[in-house]
């Protein structure tokens, strides 16, 4: 059995939405930054999503990566997003453009559930 | 079955404090193997050490078939880098049985990723079995894409649109069920309303003396819900089978043998031919269990089932690949 290394990592590489603090040179640059700046990662390991719940800002792209020896999927319970089958080390990304709560699960192993909260 | 030896365990439902309709639990863990025969409410279990003499005399019945499961063709990780070789070993084992089986049941996870070449690989190896007929039900790994199109095109011919079906062999009624489709978040395996209705009609007109064999991928009893090892609506399916004197339920999915007897129903899960999984709750997850290479084949196996007319239950015997 592979040793369980449970890394709950959310990497927010750049926090946007600090409009009042950051000087805006012009509208074009600001909107380009908002589209590309934020990412978060969820690891699939030992038949669980880690972290199982993450909170992100609108515009953040979440990437799921499968670290198990068994294929998994990432499927929105409310059919907002759906990955193809992810074999070992395969990834799936989705950019959240609207605030809200997005519960999801693995359609192969439905006991595996997670949630993305978009603020 | 006469003569009591030290390997025989006798459970008398009338004297052990459990009433005849009550609950009797018997578990046989991977690698040990067990044969259970129910006669008039008495369950007799035999350990694998007596298998050779059982085969010689008592196991010659009217019908013999073999269950294999979870071949996971395409899997190539450390737990078993060569699943084709271990499936071939299972076929060799089947071909060497003293009572040749009339057909095979495959209880799902034929493939690892539902790929055409994976299904082809299994079909090719199974062609080497002396038993030519193979009856399949899908595992969740066989229906990963396009609602299981690849599986149903190959193996769904003659089945109901949802993939379930039944057939008769020498007076035994076989029912293949599908419990790996449309799984709901947080839930277990599911049969669904349409399939349950079909099952009710399918068995309604059978005599209660007809032996029933039900086979499906995910266990039809709750083995360990924390890992999804059970089927949400299996109780309804079993309710339709209550009137029958002998019901044998054969499942896969959990990659280890386990057995339970409840009333007239014997539940049994088979080993995988590909890789073992941990016992319930004994690992952080149900993922493939890596064991030393020399131990692997002792945790993989096949299940031989014999029907002997006049006896209440079918004799179910597990044997490992090495």
Lowest mean pLDDT among A50-54, A70-74, B76-80, B256-260: B256-260
Residue A25 has a pLDDT of 45
Residue B208 has a pLDDT of 93
For B108, phi and psi rounded to 5 degrees?
90, 170
Q: What is the mean pLDDT of residues B287-305?
A: 92
Q: What is the mean pLDDT of residues B104-110?
A: 96
What tokens appear for B219 in the block?
């266990």
What tokens appear for B44 in the block?
């007799």
Residue B22 has pLDDT above 80, yes or no: no
Mind listing the pLDDT tens digit for each residue in B23-76?
233 333 323 333 434 333 333 344 333 444 555 455 556 788 999 999 999 999
Per-residue DSSP letter, B16: S
- Using an 8 Å CB-CB cutoff, list chain B residues near A73: 144
Which domains does chain B carry? 61-254+264-320 (3.60.21.10)
Q: What is the mean pLDDT of residues A41-50?
A: 97
Rounded Cα distance, B13 and B92, in Å: 39
Q: Three-class SS of residue A10?
A: coil
User: Taking all residues of chain B, what is their mean pLDDT, rounded to a whole number?
Assistant: 83
Rounded Cα distance, A107 and A82, in Å: 9
Residue B319 has a pLDDT of 85
Q: Is A89 on the interface with B (CB under 8 A)?
A: no
Mind listing the pLDDT tens digit for each residue in B139-184?
999 999 999 999 999 999 999 999 999 999 988 999 999 999 999 9
Mind listing the pLDDT tens digit for each residue in B239-253?
999 999 889 999 999
Which domains does chain A carry? 27-118 (2.60.40.420)
Counting residues of chain B whose pLDDT is more than 70, the rounded percentage is 80
Per-residue DSSP letter, B270: P
Lowest mean pLDDT among A93-102, B8-17, B302-311: B8-17
Confidence of residue A30 (pLDDT cuts 50, 70, 90): very low
Residue A91 has a pLDDT of 98
Q: What is the ipTM of this complex?
A: 0.80
Between B217 and A26, name the one with better pLDDT. Answer: B217
Residue B263 has a pLDDT of 86
Angle at B184 between CA B179 and CA B186, to 5 degrees: 110
Q: Is A69 on the interface with B (CB under 8 A)?
A: yes
Is residue A49 within 8 Å of residue A65, measured between CB atoms? no
- Output the pTM of the full model: 0.81
Residue A38 has a pLDDT of 93
Chain A contact probe: residue of B287, B290, B295, B299 with most A CBs at under 10 A: B287
Residue B310 has a pLDDT of 66
The B residues from 162 to 191 touching A (CB cutoff 8 Å) are: 183-188
Min CA distance, B144 vs chain A (Å)? 7
- Judge: B185–A46 Cβ closer than 8 Å, yes or no: no
Min CA distance, B299 vs chain A (Å)? 14
The B residues from 94 to 113 touching A (CB cutoff 8 Å) are: 112-113
Confidence of residue B317 (pLDDT cuts 50, 70, 90): confident
Confidence of residue B19 (pLDDT cuts 50, 70, 90): very low
Residue B312 has a pLDDT of 63
Mind listing the pLDDT tens digit for each residue in B176-234?
999 999 999 999 999 999 999 999 999 999 999 899 999 999 999 999 999 999 999 99
Mind listing the pLDDT tens digit for each residue in A2-25?
444 444 344 443 334 443 344 444
Residue B61 has a pLDDT of 67
Chain A contact probe: residue of B218, B285, B291 with most A CBs at under 10 A: B285
Strands B301-307 and B63-68: antiparallel
Q: What is the mean pLDDT of residues A28-35?
A: 46
User: Taking all residues of chain A, what is their mean pLDDT, rounded to a whole number?
Assistant: 80
Lowest mean pLDDT among A69-78, A103-112, B40-49: B40-49
Strand order, beta sheet including A100-105 = A53-56, A113-118, A100-105, A75-76
Is residue B168 within 8 Å of residue B137, measured between CB atoms? no
- Judge: A70–B287 Cβ closer than 8 Å, yes or no: yes
For B297, phi and psi rounded to 5 degrees?
-70, -15
Q: Is A66 on the interface with B (CB under 8 A)?
A: no
Residue B104 has a pLDDT of 94
């Amino acid at each position: 059995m592979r040793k369980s290394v449970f890394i709950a990592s959310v990497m927010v590489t750049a926090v946007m939405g600090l409009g009042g603090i950051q000087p805006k040179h012009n509208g074009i640059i600001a909107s380009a930054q908002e589209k590309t700046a934020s990412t978060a990662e969820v690891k699939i390991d030992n038949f669980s999503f880690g972290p199982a719940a993450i909170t992100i800002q609108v515009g953040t792209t979440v990437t799921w990566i499968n670290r198990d020896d068994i294929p998994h999927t990432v499927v929105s319970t409310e059919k907002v997003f759906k990955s193809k089958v992810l074999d070992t080390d395969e990834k799936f990304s989705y950019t959240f453009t609207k605030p809200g709560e997005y519960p999801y699960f693995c359609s192969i192993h439905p006991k595996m559930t997670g949630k993305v909260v978009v603020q | 079955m006469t003569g009591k030896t030290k390997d025989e365990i006798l459970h008398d439902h009338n004297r052990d404090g459990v009433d005849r309709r009550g609950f009797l639990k018997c578990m046989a863990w991977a690698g040990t193997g067990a044969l259970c025969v129910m006669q008039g409410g008495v369950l007799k279990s035999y350990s694998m050490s007596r298998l050779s003499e059982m085969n010689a005399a008592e196991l010659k019945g009217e019908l013999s078939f073999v269950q294999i499961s979870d071949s996971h063709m395409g899997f190539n990780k450390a737990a078993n880098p060569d699943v084709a070789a271990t499936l071939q070993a299972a076929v060799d084992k089947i071909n060497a049985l003293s009572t040749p089986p009339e057909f095979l049941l495959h209880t799902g996870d034929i493939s690892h990723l539902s790929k055409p070449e994976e299904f082809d690989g299994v079909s090719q190896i199974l062609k080497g079995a002396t038993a030519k007929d193979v009856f399949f039900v899908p595992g969740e790994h066989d229906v990963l894409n396009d609602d299981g199109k690849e599986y149903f095109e190959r193996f769904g011919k003659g089945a109901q649109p949802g993939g379930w079906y039944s057939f008769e062999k020498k007076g035994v009624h076989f029912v293949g069920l599908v419990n790996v489709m449309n799984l709901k978040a947080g839930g277990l395996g599911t049969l669904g309303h349409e399939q349950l209705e079909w099952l009710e009609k399918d068995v309604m007109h059978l005599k209660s003396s007809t032996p029933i064999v039900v086979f499906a991928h995910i266990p039809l009893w709750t083995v360990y819900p924390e890992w999804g090892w059970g089927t949400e609506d299996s109780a309804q399916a079993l309710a339709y089978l209550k009137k029958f004197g002998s019901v044998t339920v054969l499942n896969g999915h959990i990659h280890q043998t386990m057995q339970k007897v409840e009333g007239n129903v014997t539940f049994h899960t088979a080993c995988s031919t590909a890789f073992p999984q941990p016992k319930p709750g004994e690992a952080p997850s149900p993922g493939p269990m890596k064991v030393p290479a020399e131990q692997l084949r002792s945790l993989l196996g096949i299940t031989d089932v014999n029907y002997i007319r006049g006896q209440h239950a079918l004799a179910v015997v597990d044997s490992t690949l090495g």
